[in-house]
Amino acid sequence: QSALEPNLDLHCHANNVAHNTHEISTSQLIVRRGQPFSITLELDFAFSTSESLKLTVETGATLLTCCSINATSSLQTGCVTLNVTPPADAPVGKYSLSIEWAETAQQHSPTGKTLKKPMLVDSLTRSLCWFADDWVYLPDEKERQEYVMNEQGHIYRGTAHCFSPMFWDFGQFEEEMVDICLKLLDVNPKHKRDPEDDVSARCNPIYVGRVISAMINCYDDMGVLQGCWDGNYHDGVCPTRWTSSVSILQRWFQSDCKAVKYGQCWVFAGVMCTVMRFFGIPCRVVTNFESGHDTNNSLTIDQYFDEYGLKKMGKEDSIWNFHVWVEGWMKRPDLDQDGRYDGWQVLDPTPQERSEGMFCCGPAPVSAIHDGHTNLKYDVPFVFSEVNADVVKWKIKADGSKIKMKYLTDTAKVGQKISTKAVGSTAINDLTNTYKYKEGKDANANSFSQRLGLYQSETIRYMLSYRQESCLRNSQDIKLNLKLSNRGHSVKSLSISVNAQVTNYTATKVKNVLHDSCFQRLNAGQGLSTNHPTDRYDRTYFNHFHPVTLKTSRKFHVAFIILCRNIFTLLARLHHPVMVQVEFKNPLNETLRFCSLTISGSGLFRSDIRELPANTTLTHQIQTTPYRAGLRTVVADFDCSAFRDVKDSCTVYVKP
């Protein structure tokens, strides 16, 4: 009987290289849909063409049909090579290959019975953006390398006028990613309700993207991340400390799917991008500055102020300094057969509002958002209001009644500098024009008026603006310049009140820090300029500063950004030790305690440091041995008791 035992060669290395999956593994067969792969069955006896050979491919209870199979054999050695092409609509997931052959009784069986020997092996099928028939096909090779193969990137945070990139390690090809990402699909509620239906639906990237969007947050299921926006992170990790999806996903997987604490929008988006790229769906992280949050589907952002110009905080509509989601590239034949809504789709895993009973969002076609087609699925009205809602301001009187300040309606506030990392570089790519028409164009007004019968704003009588003296950093005073001009035709007596409130990036007030008031007379066409130096703020809340003004209710956001200077060796060799040097200067007149320095990078390393005395410079060296070749990004993350989220990075080329 031992002579009848076969050997099956999966050609893992050659197949995975051909399928662009060798970064994940070269010991496990991982193939993409629509592209052929080869396997060889080696028998200890000559295989006759009169004998039958059967290949069965299945995942769970789902049998994969319509595989294209070509076979060649050697009658002398008994080797049979099969070239197998999975269909372009095969469900993504883990498969078993079962090979059965039947031998004639006269040749091999003294009992005259047919013998069958199954051979089971594991393989993984992913979407293929290289194959034209796949729904995630992306024509441009440079974009495929960026949006599927690149393990690192930038996530932009701050304000539309003062922002900076945060370097993020997606790490979709890191160890355990196969098991982690498949686990994420297998524990989703739809799979628990009907496993067979769920697995069959995984052929559709629209379905897969929607499931991933729901599973990145934990609010309806055994999802990956728990959100927290109140600043209380004592039983978890502060969201600003994360620099990598890998550690988050590993924690979730190793804790038997217990939610990781804590995340905010950029963390949710970074983790989702990792999972999407792992499954072969082109994906990029997108930041929308001045992002609207419409809670009642009115397609407007309604803001309320008291008679002193202080903004009323609550659960009403808001404008976040920034919000981060992802875009996935896929076809949308469910919306239109002519391809009108194919391409980039918004998917948002941050738990904001429910969609079909679940905390998920999308896929919403960017083209539909751009043209105001809010009748389409999924969640187009919500995303439209994030990028193109009008801001309507209301004054709440002492008796509780409210008055709409029509002349202060702002059509340009929401949705600014919508950005992502550029392809193949560290530059920023402005996507704003893909989401909406340029302000002032008729098409933009039409796209909004089609969705909502709004009033026309009254003529604006005053022009007010704030200007910051410079892009601020922590430990510096705030200097703001207020400019006010009378656009009317008569003298106006004005009562001006300037109020500053510290908020987090979701526009939730933390505290009031400034109140100035004055009276001015402005002639027709006259302008006024005043300065408001502000040093009365608690540096504990350095992340976002939010001034609010009376009458106009105009706001100006300033992001506090601390930069550390770092010096990295730019070249390294695979499996050869390399010295990394990080330099950080403490700008404060106090000792920084409980300091930690995390050095991370795909295929690189991590470490910690000690406390840092006042006005001193720390130079810290770490020796490491890179274990993966190619372009890698090293990220340095400094945290201490006084402040957090001090990050910088450097690209290192690791030679083979």
So which residues are the catalytic ones?
A: 265, 323, 348
Q: What is the DSSP string of 509-546?
A: EEEEEEEEEEEEEE-TT-EEEEEEEE----GGGTTEEE
The rounded radius of gyration (Å) of the Cα atoms in the chain is: 29
Question: Nearest-CA neighbor of 264 among 504, 542, 546?
Answer: 504
Question: Nearest-CA neighbor of 277 among 605, 602, 628, 635?
Answer: 602
Q: Which residue has the tokens 């059967």?
A: 54
Q: And the tokens for 149?
A: 């193969």
CB atoms inside a 10 Å sphere around CB 111: 7
Q: How many residues does the chain have?
A: 656
3-state secondary structure of 462: strand
Tell me the C-alpha distance between 274 and 178, whole Å. 12
3-state secondary structure of 350: coil
Q: And the tokens for 131?
A: 């194959």
The single-letter DSSP state of residue 115 is P
Q: Virtual CA dihedral for 499, 502, 503, 507, nearest 10 degrees?
A: 10
Which residues make beta-bridge pairs with 617? 585
Sequence-ordered list of residues with C-beta below 8 angstroms from that of 338, at least 6 positions apart, any chain: none
Sequence-ordered list of residues with C-beta below 8 angstroms from that of 369, at least 6 positions apart, any chain: 346, 380, 383, 384, 387, 388, 435, 436
Helix (H) or strand (E) segment spanning residue 196:
helix 195-201
- Report in angstroms the alpha-carbon separations of 465 from 415, 485, 529, 536: 18, 9, 10, 22
Tell me the C-alpha distance between 305 and 230, whole Å. 23
Q: What are phi and psi of 323, to 5 degrees?
A: -145, 145
3-state secondary structure of 260: strand
Nearest-5° Cα angle at 427, 426 to 431? 125
Q: What is the DSSP string of 632-649?
A: EEEEEEEE-SS---EEEE
CB atoms inside a 10 Å sphere around CB 409: 19
State how beta strands 37-42 and 79-85 pair.
antiparallel
